[in-house]
Amino acid sequence: MTPDGVKDRIGSPPGRVLLTGGAGFIGSSVARALLADGWDVVVLDKLTYAGRRAHLDGLPLELVVGDVCDAPLVERLTRGCAAVIHAAAESHVARSLDDPAPFLRTNIEGTRVVLEAAAAAGVPHAVHLSTDEVFGSAPGALAFDVDHALRPGNFYAASKAAAEMMVHAVAHTRGYRATVVRCTNNYGPRQHDEKAIPLWIAAARRGADLPIHGTGEAIRDWLHVDDFAAGLLAILRRGAPGDVHHFTGGNSLANRQVAERIAQLCGGGRLVHVADRPGQDMRYALQDDATREALGWAPRVPFDQGLAETVAWYRDRDPLARAQ
């Protein structure tokens, strides 16, 4: 225990962690953070279109290619783990509008399987990654606290809200309390090109149009993925199983403003308004004061710096740019 009575793992060996979805955007940053913290990392990832083996190249971890809905596999992998971080998901809202089925399977059933396996194996700490989208649009200046009712506005968000209900059901029936983490929009390296920031960077670098849904006034908060990964480590160190945590970057911006900054940073591209996404949520907002206080966490990466570094990362990984 620390002097302020907070449980702290510092000094004891971290042990083995099962990280689902570790070949994806957030997972591949979390894998790096866990390794730097001394954890023995096992990644379970199906390598869907969104996951890439290359995201984990050169990292000293075990990658198991498989499905979070495969109960015997997940049960085998959770045995002996000190922690589970469940980041595997179908994550793209636009795809959920075209074909919700994989979202319902992976995000809901996959979460049930992972948490039931963690319960059966007696894993001390399981952390489920949820999203600010489970609340739906935040009216006025409201920022949702952890206990606010969930009112998801699209099929991705609904599947994530249902996944949270699985966390509750596992707690209620198996007596196993997992931690739920809701974060705002992450940005940084290794995000799939279909997501807004990489999409706008790619367009701006070509001097092409940057497509903006509707008016471009929909507001999102932006959190650097390394800050989020640091928050997850803080949970493993100091969090109590069963807590709900919110993480924000404190960078609430209209989509149009983010696209404009990217065009400036890339020295090209023009914003072009396209049809709005059906069921667009106009504003997401979370309160994260309690998490900051409980975990001693705060985001460190200023948005302008993080965005410039992200643009540079996409430029540097482009073989054409390197050859120039």
Ligand X SMILES: NC(=O)c1ccc[n+]([C@@H]2O[C@H](COP(=O)([O-])OP(=O)(O)OC[C@H]3O[C@@H](n4cnc5c(N)ncnc54)[C@H](O)[C@@H]3O)[C@@H](O)[C@H]2O)c1
Active site residues: 132-133, 156
C-beta separation of 105 from 69 below 8 A: yes
Among 19, 25, 121, 157, binds ligand X (CB under 6 A): 25
Among 15, 35, 40, 48, binds ligand X (CB under 6 A): 48
By CB under 6 A, residue 189 contacts ligand X: no
Q: Is 22 left (phi over 0), alpha (psi -120 to 50) or beta?
A: alpha
From CA 174, how far away is CA 119, in angstroms rounded? 7
Amino acid at position 321, single letter: A
By CB under 6 A, residue 271 contacts ligand X: no
Question: Residue 44 or 266: which CB sits closer to ligand X?
Answer: 44
Question: DSSP per residue over 114-136, as a string?
Answer: HHHHHHHHT-SEEEEEEEGGGG-
By CB under 6 A, residue 51 contacts ligand X: yes
Question: Residue 42 or 267: which CB sits closer to ligand X?
Answer: 42
Stretch that binds ligand X, among 2-10, 74-82, 84-92, 294-302 (CB under 6 A): 84-92
Supply the minimum distance, in Å, between the C-beta of residue 129 and ligand X.
Answer: 4
By CB under 6 A, residue 164 contacts ligand X: no
By CB under 6 A, residue 188 contacts ligand X: no
Token representation of residue 83: 């922690």
Size of the site for ligand X (CB under 6 A): 31
Question: Residue 27 or 239: which CB sits closer to ligand X?
Answer: 27
By CB under 6 A, residue 106 contacts ligand X: yes
Stretch that binds ligand X, among 72-80, 116-124, 178-186, 293-301 (CB under 6 A): 178-186
Which residues, in sequence order, are bridge partners of residue 219? 254, 283
Looking at residue 183, the DSSP 8-state letter turns out to be E
By CB under 6 A, residue 310 contacts ligand X: no
By CB under 6 A, residue 185 contacts ligand X: yes
Order of strands across the sheet with 83-86? 62-65, 40-45, 16-20, 83-86, 125-131, 179-183, 244-247
By CB under 6 A, residue 233 contacts ligand X: no
By CB under 6 A, residue 288 contacts ligand X: no
Among 32, 46, 256, 292, binds ligand X (CB under 6 A): 46
By CB under 6 A, residue 19 contacts ligand X: no
Strand boundaries in 188-264, DSSP class E: 209-213, 219-224, 244-247, 252-254
By CB under 6 A, residue 154 contacts ligand X: no
CA of residue 129 relative to chain centroid, distance: 6
Among 9, 15, 37, 47, binds ligand X (CB under 6 A): 47
Stretch that binds ligand X, among 46-54, 117-125, 168-176, 281-289 (CB under 6 A): 46-54
**In this chain, which residue has its C-beta nearest to ligand X?**
24
Long-range interactions of 28-31: CB distance < 8 A, separation 24+? 28/55, 28/56, 28/190, 29/188, 29/189, 29/190, 29/225, 29/226, 29/228, 29/229, 30/85, 30/87, 30/228, 30/229, 30/232, 31/56, 31/59, 31/61
Helix 303-317 and helix 196-206, axial crossing angle in degrees, nearest 10: 60
Question: Residue 88 or 118: which CB sits closer to ligand X?
Answer: 88
From CA 81, how far away is CA 78, in angstroms rounded? 5
From CA 143, how far away is CA 178, in angstroms rounded? 24
Supply the minimum distance, in Å, between the C-beta of residue 182 and ligand X.
Answer: 7
Number of C-beta neighbours around residue 101 at 10 A? 10
Binding site residues, ligand X, CB under 6 A: 20-21, 23-27, 44-48, 50-51, 67-69, 87-91, 106, 110, 129, 131, 160, 183, 185-186, 192
